[in-house]
Amino acid sequence: MMSESEPSAKHKLVEFKVDRVIHEASTDTRILVLTRVESPNDTFPIWVGAAEGSAIKLAMDTMVTPRPMSHDLIKSFLEHLGVAVRRIVITDVKSSTYYATVYLENKGVERTIDARPSDAISLALRAPCPIYITQDVLARRSNDNLDAWLAKMESKNLGTPEVQET
Amino acid sequence: MIMQMHLKGLMFDPYNNAYIVILREEDRSEMLPIWVGKAEAGSISLALENVAPPRPMTHDFMKSVLDVYDAKVISVVITDLSENTYFAKIHMTYEDSEYTVDARPSDAIALALRCNAPIFASETVIRKQNTEELEQWLENLKPEDFGKLDS
């Protein structure tokens, strides 16, 4: 009984939303903070590059840039192909690196494409479509003292324009 | 009138803290420098070196989207230059129809290199940009400015 129910529980999807993008000044990376839709105190951070962080921030701020950014271009391609982005799922984590899958639908047929979480989330915000993390990935994250660390990070960055408060 | 361009180089511009993609027209030796950001330069560099990154980069993901639906990139064209900003168009075919999509030249070039699609520039763009200005800029470069790309 247990062994039968385990795989489905492992692949159960939990919905998250992008809460903010934090500028990590010491390494010039960005921390993308996702929060669980059903319990906003449950946070899930993902480290991304500066360019990836700004692509996500532009989408969060619904900024319209004079020229299409990379993910606007992907959205534009999908529109021409008549393809809808249904959802994106963070499916795996291997040595602190997350992997994501983008679910596309065209004429009732679903197709999946592997992506980095930053690309998947950038596209999800522009689509827009829901963002999920598998139960398995949530169980395997190692966030010892993460909340304390995040609090410290944010108090340090408080007031700087890079901090996105929503 | 459009001319086919070849990617001749990618270099760091220490004065503007940006990268320059140099496109060149073979027969008439016309040069077209295009300033791009660090991430875009990194993506173009990966395509030039034919390096497959462990996880798909943005333009690899972009190509996957087109590949899954059997959409083909026919060509990319640098179409316009206005206030030091270049504009590009990507021509593609999907299910017997042709589509044109607006893009930044950096995305268009990064995608063209991955799809083995030719890169063109309109004659107007080449006429508008002042090649002399680039030559002067190149003359002022010091050997140490030619660093290796770090991404």
pLDDT band at A161 (very low <50, low <70, confident <90, very high): very low
Q: Is the pLDDT of residue A2 over 50?
A: no
Nearest to A119 by CA among A134, A136, A101, A135: A101
- Over residues B52-103, the pLDDT tens digits come to 888 899 999 999 999 999 999 999 999 988 877 899 999 999 999 999 999 9
- Scored b (16 or more CB within 10 A) or e, B54-78 reads ebbbbbbbbbbbbebbebebebbbb
Task: Count Cβ atoms below 10 Å from residue A55 Cβ, excluding itself.
Answer: 27
* A37 DSSP assignment: S
A68 contacts B107? CB cut-off 8 A: yes
pLDDT band at B16 (very low <50, low <70, confident <90, very high): confident
C-alpha B138/C-alpha A56 separation (Å) is: 35
- Over residues A31-42, the pLDDT tens digits come to 999 999 999 999
B107 contacts A70? CB cut-off 8 A: yes
Which residues of B fall within a CB distance of 8 Å from A52? 39, 58
pTM of model > 0.90: no
A67 contacts B87? CB cut-off 8 A: yes
B37 contacts A71? CB cut-off 8 A: no
What's the burial of B86, exposed, middle or buried (CB within 10 Å: 0-12/13-18/19+)?
A: buried
Which residues of B fall within a CB distance of 8 Å from A76? 101-102
Nearest to A63 by CA among A52, A54, A50: A54
The string of DSSP codes covering A123-158 is HHHHTT--EEEEHHHHHH---TTHHHHHHHHHHHHT
Q: Which residues of B touch A (CB under 8 A)?
A: 37-40, 55-59, 61-62, 64-66, 68-69, 71, 85, 87, 90, 92, 94, 99, 101-104, 107
Helices B58-68 and A70-81 cross at an angle (nearest 10°) of 0
Q: Is the pLDDT of residue B108 over 80?
A: yes
Among B17, B58, B109, the strongest candidate for a mutation testing the A interface, having the largest count of A CBs within 10 A, is B58
Which residues of A fall within a CB distance of 8 Å from B76? none
The arithmetic mean of pLDDT across residues A72-97, rounded, is 95
A50 contacts B69? CB cut-off 8 A: no
B69 contacts A115? CB cut-off 8 A: no
C-alpha A24/C-alpha B144 separation (Å) is: 30
pLDDT band at A152 (very low <50, low <70, confident <90, very high): low
Q: How would you classify the pairing of strands B85-94 and B72-82?
A: antiparallel
Which residues of A fall within a CB distance of 8 Å from B104? 67-70, 73
- Over residues A101-120, the pLDDT tens digits come to 999 999 999 999 999 999 99
The region of weakest confidence among A152-156, B4-8, B26-30, B100-104 is A152-156
C-alpha A122/C-alpha B63 separation (Å) is: 16
